[in-house]
Chain A
Amino acid sequence: MSLCPGWAGPLTVEKPRPNPITAAWPRPRPHGDPTPPEDLSAAVWSLVPALYAPCASRGWCCSGWPRLETPECLSTRPLLGPFLAGRAVGHGGVKELFSSLGVECNVLELDQVDDGAKVQEVLSEITNQKTVPNVFVNKVHVGGCDQTFQAYQSGLLQKLLQEDSAYDYDLIIVGGGSGGLSCAKEAAILGKKVMVLDFVVPSPQGTSWGLGGTCVNVGCIPKKLMHQAALLGQALCDSRKFGWEYNQQVKHNWETMTKAIQNHISSLNWGYRLSLREKAVAYVNSYGEFVEHHKIKATNKKGQETYYTAAQFVIATGERPRYLGIQGDKEYCITSDDLFSLPYCPGKTLVVGASYVALECAGFLAGFGLDVTVMVRSILLRGFDQEMAEKVGSYMEQHGVKFLRKFIPVMIQQLEKGSPGKLKVLAKSTEGTETIEGVYNTVLLAIGRDSCTRKMGLEKIGVKINEKSGKIPVNDVEQTSVPYVYAVGDVSEGKPELTPVAIQSGKLLARRLFGASLEKCDYINVPTTVFTPLEYGCCGLAEEKAIEVYKKENLEIYHTLFWPLEWTVAGRENNTCYAKIICNKLDHDRVIGFHILGPNAGEVTQGFAAAMKCGLTKQLLDDTIGIHPTCGEVFTTLEITKSSGLDITQKGC
């Protein structure tokens, strides 16, 4: 039942006219302050910057709007506290609700001001709500009468009414990576006073970098670019078959590539600095350490200490590569923290580990023509579908990467200094007493990552961490054991360690904390792609996990090998690329696992992940028409089940 039936009908707007927002709004100029629109819509926007946030979560374009000038009919009203646009005949009890909460409500009677109809029109444009009253609290759009009472019942209204000014900041974020920055920017858009503390502790080899965290500096971005460089090597080979003529042996120049990649990264670092400044987020290049409740100590490069307080905190410090803890590892080995900015070609390389970082690095290094060996303790790509993982490995093996299975290094010795030098690696079998020795120019450790949570004073304020992993346990709203401290990204326990996940959860957290949102981050069916030489994209469950959860007899697995058209003329191997889906027979053959090994796996997987969000079934796959000729179309014609045991090799087309 509606709480205020009298207010359900729309206010009459005389006639259709040009959209006041788009008509009046000058197109903002990139990299400059947007020119404030001078008409009424600007004033209404200025009341409700929060509304604007969902469309402007990226980029510079909404900075400064809360400070826009307010026109006459609104200028006398304070922008904080509840604001209500309605008609003088009544407000469905909203006004009374606010007085019962002990707050005064600013009321704009639209039928009593000259430009009321216009205000109403603008309000309906930006809030998608045509009815009155139209309620805002502290610049956040709550909705109409019903929504306001619902917000009251859920406690959201009370939360919005709280104004905490006893601290320096509304929010301090520790860690300027993907998650931290997205949370900071979103909170700033919502009109909060925000600080980001970011400090890169140099790696044991002395590598450090700028703002942006792992993804930008030592993760996704440089790795995908180096992967692309390696793919280009393959493309150069292919191109001869497609008629491009050159005779020379093409060599790869590590320095040229690295310089180009580092230049791009610098521009991204700079972009982040700029976007924080534009959103008036305070950025401090210091190491953050909690000293007491709501108070953090920031230590800069020179050792100078400053103290800041905030109402709430977000920990987004991420992870750093793990070391083996054996003789010579920190002295002589590098990690992914160092590789992408290495000033010299690494030469003959031993990659230790079988994580996706290990395999991706080994893949592109081999793609440049380097002699690469991967030392694997047990299995490849733990946590991923093992059939796929083995296929990833065997493709790499066929393309020149050597694998040493079931060995772990026990000692690293330097034989020669240099760029690169020469290292002797002693390793022992995990199964027996056998030891082996090898000489490499570079040893890259990629055995896992550790959370950066142990040296930031968490124990001083009582934030619990998992003692073993160092990760921070959080509830479904990213809250730690201390209510005003939250954690997002790789430091939070049990969450996928992926940039887009951190971005999404950071943004949604800010919206829940400071906006009128209750939306939680959905960690189900998160797609990902491993950028090995043959890319592996997946979404949903691995086959073994699906069997564990649903039992084998309740699953139907469809699979096929395929031969990308581009590979045919290029003379690349048939029966290598592979597609697999796992369906739950008990639930309309719903697709619960999606796996593809092939070129552009990331591009292919994304759309299927969106389809899985919408409840993709095998029937829908069959009903969908393929795009010919692509790799993605293979999923629309999957016929052979694994249980049938039929041959899936391709003969011809």
Chain B
Amino acid sequence: MAAMAVALRGLGGRFRWRTQAVAGGGRGAARGAAAGQRDYDLLVIGGGSGGLACAKEAAQLGRKVAVVDYVEPSPQGTRWGLGGTCVNVGCIPKKLMHQAALLGGLIQDAPHYGWEVAQPVPHDWRKMAEAVQNHVKSLNWGHRVQLQDRKVKYFNIKASFVDEHTVCGVAKGGKEILLSADHIIIATGGRPRYPTHIEGALEYGITSDDIFWLKESPGKTLVVGASYVALECAGFLTGIGLDTTVMIRSIPLRGFDQQMSSMVIEHMASHGTQFLRGCAPSRVRKLPDGHLQVTWEDCTTGKEDTGTFDTVLWAIGRVPDTRSLNLEKAGVDTSPDTQKILVDSREGTSVPHIYAIGDVVEGRPELTPTAIMAGRLLVQRLFGGSSDLMDYDNVPTTVFTPLEYGCVGLSEEEAVARHGQEHVEVYHAHYKPLEFTVAGRDASQCYVKMVCLREPPQLVLGLHFLGPNAGEVTQGFALGIKCGASYAQVMRTVGIHPTCSEEVVKLRISKRSGLDPTVTGC
């Protein structure tokens, strides 16, 4: 009987649900008799950005929904509330600490603008951390309230599959609970990777799961890794006045435009972050005085070196949180290399009624807004009669390093790889933000480039912006690219004077011309 109902839903489901929603108007009416044997219409595993978006959307469409969320404490014992990575140990605290670091820069600007502030101004980690953590906690609370308002059942339990419709949850005290649902969405995200082969890594190192929740200043810090997480953390640590070193084995910001990446590094290096390039750590030891002694190897010379730090932060990548889910019991396939869940363009896994969204999925951009949109679209397809698929192209993003890097579309390398050098035109400019002039700031790395097709009308393939407020600048242009903007159209846009973003609509010098792209005057 149940199987038949499922089959029916699969065939004529879309229409049927819609009529019922209109006719019945309520959750009870929408649930078929067979489906009623299960606890929920939708069970979401993982209370992060993607999962919560799914749950709220489904509830709004009149479904009976449950969310299970459980934060396994980090090896250092850090734990947090509802909301997932972004809210607790990602975007939100990172941008706030980035803001703290930016404010440090503004304090140094202030005397140039007539503010009589005695320099240097010291920074108190505890005060910042407490303020950031309080804000995060208020967001945790907000998410709880939102779920409650929408009558989504929330369980703080660790879930694993029992069969393809049933999940077993274990609460903190060890109490077990069985939950069944017609549809299940996996949105458990990822966690930082530990280099467990390195002696002392797990014992003495921390990750981005811990840094934002530290009660005391991390002090002199070694950040290992070249991901955006690594550079962002190193950036704000430097910005609030800590001695910070980044150890990078190969290339920084893999996957991003490499010219931009190297300028990001250049800027950080010129603002006090130290870099150990081409090095890999081999062990971490705790010295009797409590400091950490890190030994590393120079990958080209093979020479060993050591340094002493207060904190070692691993930011070498993230692993999907799939291991404890017992996916094999449900028959959900994962990639053997990455352990990420394999899905089709409809976010469906190898099991028809089980879906996956967000960072846990193979081959998706690991970004909050992508997870949210994918989740909402998925639920609208499941319960809202929609057939809209998520478009993963031209996803804009911003790296919040001290000088922010915003981008959308293709990197220059990728554009050349796809279209050939001959067919790609890159327009670029070095500019100086007006605010930098009076403050006497160095603008060597303020740079913008637009990657276009060479043939008229020169379709824009990618935009890369390095400078203050890069996120704000990039958002609107992302839309332009979505609209199929051409170079000519962007050039016809009148600038807003004086802003940094107007440099984008004033791009005239092509790389091919070999001319100096430095903007002079206004």
Contacts and interface: CB of A to CB of B under 8 A. Distances in A.
B174 interface: no
A251 B110 CA distance: 11
A368 B435 CA distance: 17
Interface in A528-571: 528-529, 537, 565-566, 568-569
A21 interface: yes
A324 interface: no
Interface string B468-512: 010111111111101111000110111111111110111011101
B498 A224 contact: yes
Contacts of B138: 652-653
Contacts of B438: 225, 228, 260-261, 264
A220 interface: yes
B522 A221 contact: yes
A215 interface: yes
B326 interface: no
Interface string B25-40: 0000000000000000
A644 interface: no
Interface in A214-232: 215-216, 220-221, 224-225, 228-229, 232
Interface stretch (B90-98, B179-187, B306-314, B332-340): B90-98
Interface string B226-247: 0000000000000010000000
A59 B519 contact: yes
A605 B368 CA distance: 23
Contacts of A248: 117-118
Interface in A439-458: none
A569 B131 contact: yes
Contacts of A623: 391, 482
Contacts of A254: 114
B104 A239 contact: yes
B501 A568 contact: no
B375 interface: no
Interface in B447-472: 469, 471-472
B492 A613 contact: yes
Interface in A238-265: 238-239, 241-246, 248, 250-258, 260-261, 264
Interface in B154-202: none
B477 A22 contact: no
Contacts of A625: 367, 369-370, 373, 395-396, 478
Contacts of A264: 437-438
Given A608-B476, A608-B479, A609-B476, A58 B494 contact: no
B318 interface: no
Contacts of B504: 606-607, 610
B205 interface: no
Interface in B71-130: 86-87, 91-92, 95-96, 99-100, 103-104, 106-107, 109-118, 121-129
Nearest to B106: A235
Contact of B483 (A537, A604, A615, A632): A615
A232 B110 contact: yes
B107 to A, nearest CB: 6
B270 interface: no
A66 to B, nearest CB: 16
Given A500-B494, A652-B142, A246 B502 contact: no
A527 interface: yes
A371 interface: no
A220 B96 contact: no
B398 interface: yes
A327 interface: no
State the main secondary structure of chain A at its contact with B: helix
B516 interface: yes
B515 A61 contact: yes
B424 interface: no
Given A27-B516, A228-B435, A569-B135, A245 B124 contact: yes
Contacts of A245: 121-124, 127
B15 interface: no
A272 B484 CA distance: 37
Contact of A629 (B92, B127, B477): B92
Nearest to A652: B142
Contacts of A631: 472
A612 to B, nearest CB: 8
Interface residues of A, number: 102
Contacts of B125: 243
Nearest to A225: B438
Interface string A80-96: 00000000000000000
Contacts of A629: 91-92, 95, 471
A387 interface: no
B281 interface: no
A225 B434 contact: yes
Contact of B496 (A19, A527, A565): A527
A605 B496 contact: yes
Nearest to A594: B476
Contacts of A565: 92, 95-96, 99
Nearest to B105: A235
Interface in A340-389: 368
A475 interface: no
Contact of A271 (B397, B406, B494, B521): B521
B145 interface: yes
A418 B449 CA distance: 52
Contact of A610 (B99, B124, B240, B505): B505
B476 A632 contact: yes
B521 A275 contact: yes
B292 interface: no
Q: Give the one of A225, A606, A623, A626 with max B CB within 10 A.
A: A606
Interface string A192-232: 00000000000000000000000110001100110011001
B415 interface: no
B518 interface: yes
B12 interface: no
B485 A611 contact: yes
Interface string A16-37: 0001011001011010000000
Interface stretch (A49-57, A134-142, A148-156, A425-433): A49-57
A423 to B, nearest CB: 24
A120 interface: no
A290 B144 CA distance: 74
Given A500-B494, A600-B472, A610-B504, A59 B391 contact: no
Nearest to B99: A566
A499 interface: yes
A603 B240 contact: no
B515 A241 contact: no
B262 to A, nearest CB: 19
A498 interface: yes
A606 B505 contact: yes
A200 B498 CA distance: 23
Given A239-B104, A627-B474, A58 B514 contact: no
Contacts of A216: 522
A623 B145 CA distance: 28
Contact of A616 (B110, B111, B112, B479): B479
A499 B496 CA distance: 9
A52 B485 CA distance: 24
A239 B434 CA distance: 22
11 contacts: A22-B512, A228-B438, A236-B117, A244-B103, A256-B111, A566-B99, A614-B480, A632-B472, A632-B476, A635-B475, A635-B476
The 8 closest A-B pairs by CB, nearest first: A607-B476, A243-B128, A632-B475, A257-B114, A652-B142, A606-B501, A608-B476, A607-B477
Interface of B: 86-87, 91-92, 95-96, 99-100, 103-104, 106-107, 109-118, 121-129, 131-132, 135, 138-139, 141-143, 145-146, 240, 367-370, 373, 391, 395-398, 406, 434-435, 437-438, 469, 471-480, 482-485, 489-490, 492-502, 504-506, 508-510, 512-516, 518-522
Given A255-B114, A522-B492, 5 more contacts: A22-B513, A252-B115, A260-B438, A603-B499, A606-B477
